[in-house]
Structure 1
Amino acid sequence: MTSIVLKKASAGDLETLQQIGKETFYETFAKYNSEDEIQKYLTESFSSEKLLKELNTPDSQFFIAWEKENPIGYLKVNSGKAQTELQDETALEIERIYVKSSHYGKKVGQLLYDKALEIALRQQKKYIWLGVWEENKRAVSFYSKNGFTEFDQHIFRLGSDEQTDLMMKKVLE
């Protein structure tokens, strides 16, 4: 296997993040949702304006996984007030680990998760948390294998559809 390199993303990587985000979200969730709802979500969630705002948020960081010149996934982590819900100064949120389906089983998700763990430890966080759709069994299994446990649930709205996300966390020692 070709080596995979993680690089911190900046505003110059906007189009790459949009492409990976749209492709991976579609691959993972399109079969469970209407095409109209998915397209609307992709347009809104990965708009240039929204992603640039996220990229310029001081307490958010993006890392792109590259295989040669090909972007194959990315990580987004948040701390402080950039966190989507808890906003606990002692925590780091993994908001997104997106990996192209062509690279499932190739440890790309693990590399991205390991980067999030490295950041949390360097920032001396007490725990890492995230939300993951309860029906995304691959992701739930991945996080459980990495020591995360469910502590709550919240509703994720995709168009008019309400979906349940499991809130999971891993306490750091």
Structure 2
Amino acid sequence: MSSIILNKAFPEDLDILQILGKETFSETFAASNSKEEMDLYLEKSFNKEKLTDELNNPESYFFIAWEEDNPIGYLKLNSGTAQTELQDHSSLEIERIYVKSSHHGKKVGQLLYEKALNTAQELNKAYIWLGVWEENHRAVSFYKKNGFEEFDKHIFRLGNEEQTDLMMKKTLNK
């Protein structure tokens, strides 16, 4: 495997992020959800207007993982009021870490997570947090392995369906 490079994403990366977002979310969750609910979610969450707003938000950070000229995963972080829930200025939210299924098990997710951790430290955050679907055992295990602990639950809407996410956080050493 060639080396993986992480680059900050900018508004001109919109099309890449849209395709990568839809593809990786579908690969991860399509088998566990109806096509109708998946289609609703993908249209709502990855339309050009929404992604443009997110890319232009100074409190959100996107990074794309590249293997040569191929985007293989991405990371979305939120601070301040861009956070989906807590909006604690001492925290950083990992909203998305997604990797193409062809690259699962190749440490791409770990590289993206380490970028999130480094970003949190650079921004002098006290902790990082995220929500992860309780049925996504692979991801829950990944976050536990990286020192996250469950502290609450919340509802995640996939189309018209409500699913339970575990809210997990990791306190950072200053």
Instruction: Assess same fold via TM > 0.5.
Output: yes
Whole-angstrom distance in 1 between the partners of 2:25 and 2:122 = 29
- 2:95: which partner in 1? 95
- 1:7: which partner in 2? 7
Is residue 33 of structure 1 aligned with residue 23 of structure 2? no
Per the TM alignment, residue 61 of structure 1 is displaced from its structure 2 partner at its CA by 0.5
> Alignment partner of 1:97: what SS?
strand
- Kept after mapping to 1: 8 A contact 2:72/2:103: yes
- Residue 137 of structure 1 aligns with an amino acid whose one-letter code is H
Q: CA RMSD in A?
A: 0.6
- Kept after mapping to 1: 8 A contact 2:38/2:158: yes
- 2:114: which partner in 1? 114
Whole-angstrom distance in 1 between the partners of 2:35 and 2:141 = 27
> Alignment partner of 2:57: what SS?
coil
Is residue 62 of structure 1 aligned with residue 53 of structure 2? no
Is residue 161 of structure 1 aligned with residue 161 of structure 2? yes
- 1:73: which partner in 2? 73
- Kept after mapping to 1: 8 A contact 2:129/2:170: yes
> Alignment partner of 2:135: what SS?
coil
Per the TM alignment, residue 160 of structure 1 is displaced from its structure 2 partner at its CA by 2.5
Deviations 1:96-126 (A, max 9, x none): 0010000000000000000000011111111
Is residue 18 of structure 1 aligned with residue 18 of structure 2? yes
Moved over 2 A (4+): none
Deviations 1:129-163 (A, max 9, x none): 00000000010000000000000000011122210
- Kept after mapping to 1: 8 A contact 2:39/2:159: no
> Any stretches of 5+ residues in structure 1 without a counterpart?
none
- 1:42: which partner in 2? 42
> Any stretches of 5+ residues in structure 2 without a counterpart?
none
Whole-angstrom distance in 2 between the partners of 1:107 and 1:68 = 16
What TM-score does the superposition give when structure 1 sets the normalisation length?
A: 0.99
Q: How does 1:136-155 map to 2 (within 5 A)?
A: 136-155=136-155
- Residue 57 of structure 1 aligns with an amino acid whose one-letter code is N
- Residue 143 of structure 1 aligns with an amino acid whose one-letter code is Y
Whole-angstrom distance in 2 between the partners of 1:159 and 1:23 = 17
> Alignment partner of 1:41: what SS?
helix
- Residue 28 of structure 2 aligns with an amino acid whose one-letter code is T
What TM-score does the superposition give when structure 2 sets the normalisation length?
A: 0.98
- Residue 141 of structure 1 aligns with an amino acid whose one-letter code is S
- Residue 98 of structure 2 aligns with an amino acid whose one-letter code is Y
> Alignment partner of 1:105: what SS?
coil
Is residue 134 of structure 1 aligned with residue 106 of structure 2? no
